[in-house]
Amino acid sequence: MGILIGRTALVTGGSEGLGLAIADAFAQAGADLVLLARDPAKLAAAAEELRRHGTAVSTIATDLADPDAVAGLPADLRADILVNNAGVTHLKSLAETTDADFDEMVRVNLGVPFRLTRRLLPGLAGGSVVNISSYWGTKMVADRPASVYSATRGALDAFTKALASELGPAGVRVNAIVPGSVRTPAFERRFLGPMTDDQRTDYEEYVRRAYPMGRIGRPADVAAAALYLASPENSWVTGTILTVDGGFTVR
């Protein structure tokens, strides 16, 4: 397609899952890439895979949960497109949520998008920010308490709209994607993997009932939405909270 030729996209959490799928879609559209993630080995493997599209890929191994991570990034870091994908999830009751849990979720889910957007702002004119949020910001799930996580996602949605208003005159578009459950490697490891066969069968039946489209998402579903929002062809789209969830939140 080539719609992102000449642009550089920075993707946090870009070594696997949604971040890697988004990076792949952007690479196929011609963008050069900067990937941020914790694991150097995963970053190296992701970069090798993405370079097959003929794009330039650089990587930065950093733990964005570290309060000093953004301040420690290279001084010459620049991007036309910023994808704030990295996030931390602690689905706990209020009584079980520790101060450390709270601080980490606020720091990564809201603080990193704030700090990275501010850091990259001089190079974002004519470009865009895409924040990856969650349906937990507006829809609660019975028996799965997540008050602080939900608060950070709701705050990210509000931050997206406020920045779209503030930065629009400077030519910076700011949008967010609200995915439903997506079958990423992390989702497999943390949620599906520990299930027994009977639990997996019950979950698959739940998905058929809860999702009008009858399935959970694939990383490519979210990547396609991110490409749409990042594309300069959609230069009048800003302040949008785009739900990509197979209809889950309409039920």
The model's confidence at residue 191, banded by pLDDT at 50, 70 and 90, is confident
Phi, psi (rounded to 5 degrees) for 100:
-65, -40
- What pLDDT sits at residue 145? 86
> What is the average per-residue pLDDT within 130-147?
90
pLDDT of residue 143: 78
pLDDT of residue 171: 97
Q: Which two tokens stand for residue 127?
A: 């470009």
DSSP secondary structure string, 77-135? ---SEEEE---------TTT--HHHHHHHHIIIIIHHHHHHHHHGGG-TT-EEEEE--G
Assessment of whether the complete model's pTM goes beyond 0.85: yes
Rounded Cα gap, residues 2 and 15, in angstroms: 23
Given pLDDT bands bounded at 50, 70 and 90, which one contains residue 142? confident
- Reported as a pLDDT band with limits 50, 70 and 90, residue 36 is very high
State the chain's mean pLDDT as an integer: 96
Helices 219-230 and 17-28: crossing angle in degrees, nearest 10, is 50
Do residues 73 and 117 touch, judged by C-beta distance below 8 A? no
Percentage above 70 pLDDT, the chain: 100
Look at residue 174 in the predicted model and tell me its pLDDT: 98
Number of other CB atoms surrounding residue 29 within 10 Å? 19
| Mean pLDDT calculated for residue range 6-24 | 98
Amino acid at 117: T
Model pLDDT for residues 143-188, shown as the tens digit of each residue: 788 999 999 999 999 999 999 999 999 999 999 999 999 999 999 9
Q: What three-state secondary structure class fits 147?
A: helix
User: For position 1, what pLDDT does the model report?
Assistant: 61
pLDDT > 80? residue 99 = yes
Say which residues have a Cβ less than 8 Å from residue 26's Cβ, sequence separation at least 6: 4, 9, 11, 33, 81, 226, 227, 230
Mean pLDDT for 227-238 is: 97
Catalytic site positions: 149
CB 177 within 8 A of CB 153: no
Are β-strands 8-12 and 81-84 bridged in parallel, bridged antiparallel, or unpaired? parallel
